[in-house]
Structure 1
Amino acid sequence: MVDIEAEPTWEQKGRKTTRFQDASELRHAREDARRRHGVRAVIFDEAQHLMHVGTGAKLFDQLDWIKSMTKVTEVLHILLGTYDLWAFRNLSGQSSRRSMDIHCARYQFPQEQDRRDFQGVFLALLQQVPLDVEVEPLMQHWIYLYERSIGCVGILKDWLVRAVATALHDGRSSLSLAWVQEHALSEAQCERMALEATEGEQALGYTAQRRA
C-alpha cells in the first residue's frame, strides 16, 4: 500500500495542480512522484514508436532522456517493441552498454518442442472462448493457425479475439474453423510479418555469434 500523504504533494508545496510552468517543472514532478510512490519499473509498450520523431538528433535525444530518467529516479525502464527497437537502442554505444536484451521469440516450426508448445497454447486459448468451440477441427488445422500467425502467440490471440468478437456481435453461439478462417490475416500480411521477424531474428543471431 502506498501512503500518498507520506510526503508533501505538489499541491501542498504551492504548485499548480492542473498545469505546470514548463516542461522542466513537469519532469521534476514526475520524478518526485516516482520516488514517493516507490515505483520499481516503468514499462513502455510499443516503444519502437519512440523512433518516429523525425531527425537523427531527436532520436539521440530520446535515448538521452531515457538514460537520464533511469539515472535520476533509479527506476528500471523497460522498452517493449518490435525488432526495430533493437536498432534504436544501438544508435548509442552508451545505451547499448547500459541495456540488456530479452528476446521474446516466436515458436519455431522446425523445433519439435516449439510445435508442441504452440499447440498447447492454441488449445489453452480455445478453452477461454465464451462460445461452443469446435475444438477438434480447429486443433487438426493447427498448422494453418501457425502459418497465419507466423508462430506468434500475440498474433494468434488477436486473431481469435477478432473472430470471437464478431461472432458475439452477430449473435452466434459457436466458433468454427470456417469462421476463424474468415478472420485470418491475408497471405500478403503474413508474408510481410514473417519477413520482418526473420530479419530481426537473424540480426539478433548475428549479435549472439559475435558475443560467443
Structure 2
Amino acid sequence: MTNTTHSNTASTDAQRIGGPRIRHSRIAAAIEECSLLLEAGNSANLLLLCGPTGAGKTTLGNFLVETATKHHAENLAADPGCIPAIRVEAPASGEREFSWRLFFKRILDALDVELDAPRTAYGIDPATGRVARPRGTNPNSLAGLRTAVERSLKQRGTRFIVVDEAAHIARQCHPTLLELQFDTLKSLSNECGVQWILLGSYDLFELISLSGQLARRSHTIHFSRYREDVTEDIRAFQGCLKHFGQTLPALKQVDLLRYAEVFHRNTLGCIGILRDVLVRLDLLVGRCGWSEDTLCRALLTEAQVTQILREIVEGEERIAPGLTRTLSAPQPATPRRVA
C-alpha cells in the first residue's frame, strides 16, 4: 500500500511539471547547429526551428537557454545582472491581431523588469505645487514598451531570445501585414544585437518567401522526428524510451522495450508525444497496475495518430526544398516574348 501511494505521488509530481526531460540526440544536434549560427550575428537574425507537433521543441528551447547560461558563467559571475538568453511564448491573446503589447510585457517579465515601477521621473510643478510628469513617451504605450524592451535587452547583455509557438505571430495578422510583423523582429535584432530563435510548426518555413531581405537574414533548422525506417533513429528512440522508463516510478519494473515498436508507431517518433504517453501510462499503472489494456488506454487514438501523421508528411514535403543546397546556380525565369 505504501509503495502504491509513493508511486501515485511521484507520478502526480511528474505530470505537474510536464514529465521528465531528456537531452536526446536530436536536441544535442539542434543545440550545436544553433550555437554555430548564433556566432553569425547579423547574418542570421532569425533562426526558424521547425518541426512536428510533440517533437520536443519547447524542451529544446529550455535547453538552449540553460546551455547559454552555463556558457556565460564567467560573465554572470562578473555581472550578476547579465541574462544571456531568455525563452518566451508568443501569446495567442484571442484578439484579431497579434498583441505586441503582451509580447513585449512577457519579454520584460523574462528579463525581470518591474513593470509596475514608474519609468518616468516625477517632479513638483512650482506654479501649482502639484506632482507633474515630464512630457515624453508613455511607458505603458506600445512605443513605451518597445523602448523598455530595447533598453533592458542592452542592459542585460541578452544575446538571443527563444520564442515558443512563434506561429502565433504569423497567424494573428492579415496576410498583407505578415512581412511587417517579422520586420519588427528584424529591427529589434539590429537595434539590440539579439538574435531570435523561433520555434514552431512547419508553417514557419513559409516566412522566408515573404521577402528577399527576410530570406537572406533567416536560417531554417529542421527539428525532425525519429523515423521508423532509419536504423539509427530506431536505436535513439529506444534509448529515450528506456530513459523515461527508468525515470517514471510506476514504470521502473515494466519492460517498455518489449513494446518499442508500438510506442514508435503510436507516437510517430516524436519524443514530446512519447513523454506525454508515458506520463499517462505511469499514472494509470500506479493506480490500476500494469496490463496491456492499461497500455492501450495511455496510447493516442487512431484518429489522433492519423491527423498528426498527415501534418508531418505535408510539413516534411514543404520544408524539403528549404533544406536542399546545391553547387549549381538556379536558372532565371525565361522572359516572355513580346509579339
User: TM-score scaled by structure 1?
Assistant: 0.84
- Report percent identity of matched pairs: 32
User: Whole-Å Cα distance in 2 between the matches of residues 185 and 26 of structure 1?
Assistant: 43
The structure that has the greater radius of gyration is 2
Aligned positions, number: 203
Residue 320 of structure 2 is matched in structure 1 by 205
SS at match of 1:141: helix
Per-residue deviation, residues 28-81 of structure 1 (Å, max 9, x unmatched):
101100110111111101111212213112322211111111111110111011
Instruction: Rate the CA distance shift 1:117–1:66 in 2: closer, same or farther, 3 A.
Output: same
User: Whole-Å Cα distance in 1 between the matches of residues 121 and 232 of structure 2?
Assistant: 60
| Structure 2 residues without counterparts, runs of 5 or longer | 1-75, 82-113, 123-132, 328-339
Residue 152 of structure 1 is matched in structure 2 by 270
- Given the alignment, which residue of 217, 220, 231 partners 1:98? 217
Asked if the contact 1:48–1:82 (Cα under 8 Å) also holds between the matched residues in 2, the reply is: yes
Q: Partner amino acid for 2:261? A: I
Where do 1:7-86 residues align within 5 Å? Answer: 11=118, 14=121, 20-86=139-205
Residue 229 of structure 2 is matched in structure 1 by 110
Per-residue deviation, residues 114-156 of structure 1 (Å, max 9, x unmatched):
11111111111111102243432x2111111111111111111
Deviates more, 1:55-64 or 1:86-95: 86-95
Where do 1:187-206 residues align within 5 Å? Answer: 187-206=302-321
User: Whole-Å Cα distance in 2 between the matches of residues 12 and 80 of structure 1?
Assistant: 32
- Given the alignment, which residue of 263, 270, 284 partners 1:167? 284
CA RMSD of aligned residues (A): 2.7
User: Whole-Å Cα distance in 1 between the matches of residues 326 and 185 of structure 2?
Assistant: 25
Deviates more, 1:85-94 or 1:117-126: 85-94
How far does residue 3 in structure 1 lie from its aligned partner after superposition?
4.8
How far does residue 12 in structure 1 lie from its aligned partner after superposition?
6.7
How far does residue 107 in structure 1 lie from its aligned partner after superposition?
0.8
Q: Partner amino acid for 2:280? A: R
User: Whole-Å Cα distance in 2 between the matches of residues 75 and 50 of structure 1?
Assistant: 18
Q: Does residue 1:127 correspond to 2:246, yes or no?
A: yes
Instruction: Rate the CA distance shift 1:180–1:32 in 2: closer, same or farther, 3 A.
Output: farther
Residue 96 of structure 2 is matched in structure 1 by none
Q: Does residue 1:180 correspond to 2:287, yes or no?
A: no
Asked if the contact 1:149–1:190 (Cα under 8 Å) also holds between the matched residues in 2, the reply is: yes
Instruction: Rate the CA distance shift 1:175–1:71 in 2: closer, same or farther, 3 A.
Output: farther
Asked if the contact 1:133–1:175 (Cα under 8 Å) also holds between the matched residues in 2, the reply is: no
User: Whole-Å Cα distance in 1 between the matches of residues 311 and 206 of structure 2?
Assistant: 13
User: TM-score scaled by structure 2?
Assistant: 0.54
Residue 47 of structure 2 is matched in structure 1 by none
User: Whole-Å Cα distance in 2 between the matches of residues 129 and 175 of structure 1?
Assistant: 14
User: Whole-Å Cα distance in 2 between the matches of residues 20 and 199 of structure 1?
Assistant: 44
Q: Partner amino acid for 1:145? A: F
Q: Partner amino acid for 1:109? A: E
Asked if the contact 2:202–2:315 (Cα under 8 Å) also holds between the matched residues in 1, the reply is: yes
